[in-house]
Every structure is written in structure tokens, then in C-alpha cells.
Chains A and B, each alone.
Chain A
Amino acid sequence: QQQVKQSPQSLIVQKGGISIINCAYENTAFDYFPWYQQFPGKGPALLIAIRPDVSEKKEGRFTISFNKSAKQFSLHIMDSQPGDSATYFCAASDNQGGKLIFGQGTELSVKP
């Protein structure tokens, strides 16, 4: 199965809180899992990515947690700010076809 399932569809978080977005996949051949941030009218921007050989990767306020056995990965945004309000997409690739398979996206709104 080539699908990547993302939840929740939308998320409202207070400023300073933690935003958590989850993704699940079925294809065990996937070996690259990036997260993208997209603002209205813009193209997606690569935020952070992980490979299955590590369980966690942190870059600034953004952390990916990866559970290989459960075939799940999640994005944590610490100390969420109003400027983080955007749509976030998880994705996966098996590097056979070069293509990224995207989740459906999560619209994050951070309230001041």
C-alpha cells in the first residue's frame, strides 16, 4: 500500500503549547520520511526529515519521533508560535521512483 495517513486534519494550539501531528504508513520499503510546512499561496518548504535507523531527530523547536515497528511517525512543535500557523504535510519515499507520497495535511492554527 502506498498511502500515508495523517491526523488530525486540523489542530488549534495555544501559543507556547506543543503541537503534535501523526502519520502512519504501510509500505515497509519506505526509508525516508520528511515533513513539509506550507503557507497559503506558497510551495511546501522542507522542515525536517528522518530515516528509519533513528527513532528521533530534533532541529530547533521541531522534533520527529519515529516508531518503525508501529510504522508511525510524528512531528512535535515545541513552544508553538502564531508564525507556525500553516499546513503541515508528512511524506514518505522508498527511493525507487523518486516520488514522495504525501499525507493529506494538517492545518495548524496557533492562537496568541
Chain B
Amino acid sequence: EAGVTQSPTHLIKTRGQQVTLRCSPISGHTSVYWYQQALGLGLQFLLWYDEGEERNRGNFPPRFSGRQFPNYSSELNVNALELEDSALYLCASSFRSGYNEQFFGPGTRLTVL
């Protein structure tokens, strides 16, 4: 069974640009979560999507947004990039809302110059 996949693996952007990260959950999973892992800040919850709806978001500005498609894949969009957005962005999936086990993908490493 294939795990959570994310693309691209690495990305380099400059301040002010916009970026889109992609995630495909484990087959059969309907919930997708996004986390930011910045150096020294640990893993911070960003967004949760389930059945195409945004269910919860963490303490991040509105320039962080996303969506979930009918096939349960998801995109994370970050507008007006700032230097402190440099981080590993991790996507996780779970079987469905209410199932706690979250399985993570390999992440997308974003560098903002």
C-alpha cells in the first residue's frame, strides 16, 4: 500500500512569491492534515481537511490556505512568502474524521530567500 506522497520534494522561492504544495493521502483515507516543521519550532498544525471541507486551522495567518479535491488529495498555498516561512511542510492523512492515527508523508522542503 502506497503511503502519503508529497510534491515537490524541494522548492526555493523568494520573498513575496506564492507557492503551492501538493499531497496525496493513503488510498481510502479522507482526512488530510498539514503541518509546518520549522527549525527550532517543532511541528505546528496548519490545516485539516475532511471530505472536501476545512475542519480546523492552526494559528497561522490567512496567507496560508488550501483545499481538498474530490479525490481527497490536497493543496497548500502560501501567498506573499516571508523568510520565516522556510520550513519542512508535512502532510498527513487519516482514515476519516474521528480516527486519530495520522500517517505522514516525506514533506516538502521550502526555502525562502
Contact = CB atoms under 8 A, between A and B. Distances in A.
Interface string B24-55: 00000001010100000011110010100001
Main secondary structure of the interface of B (DSSP, over half): strand
Contact of B104 (A44, A93, A97): A44
Interface string B81-113: 000000000100010011011111111000000
B76 interface: no
Contacts of A105: 42
Nearest to B107: A43
Contact of B50 (A41, A43, A98): A98
Nearest to A99: B45
A104 B107 CA distance: 18
B58 interface: yes
B56 interface: yes
Interface residues of B, number: 25
Nearest to A102: B43
A42 B107 CA distance: 7
Contacts of A42: 106-107
Nearest to B40: A104
Interface in A72-107: 89, 91, 93, 95, 97-105
Interface of B: 4, 31, 33, 35, 42-45, 48, 50, 55-56, 58, 90, 94, 97-98, 100-107
Interface of A: 32, 34, 36, 41-46, 49, 89, 91, 93, 95, 97-105
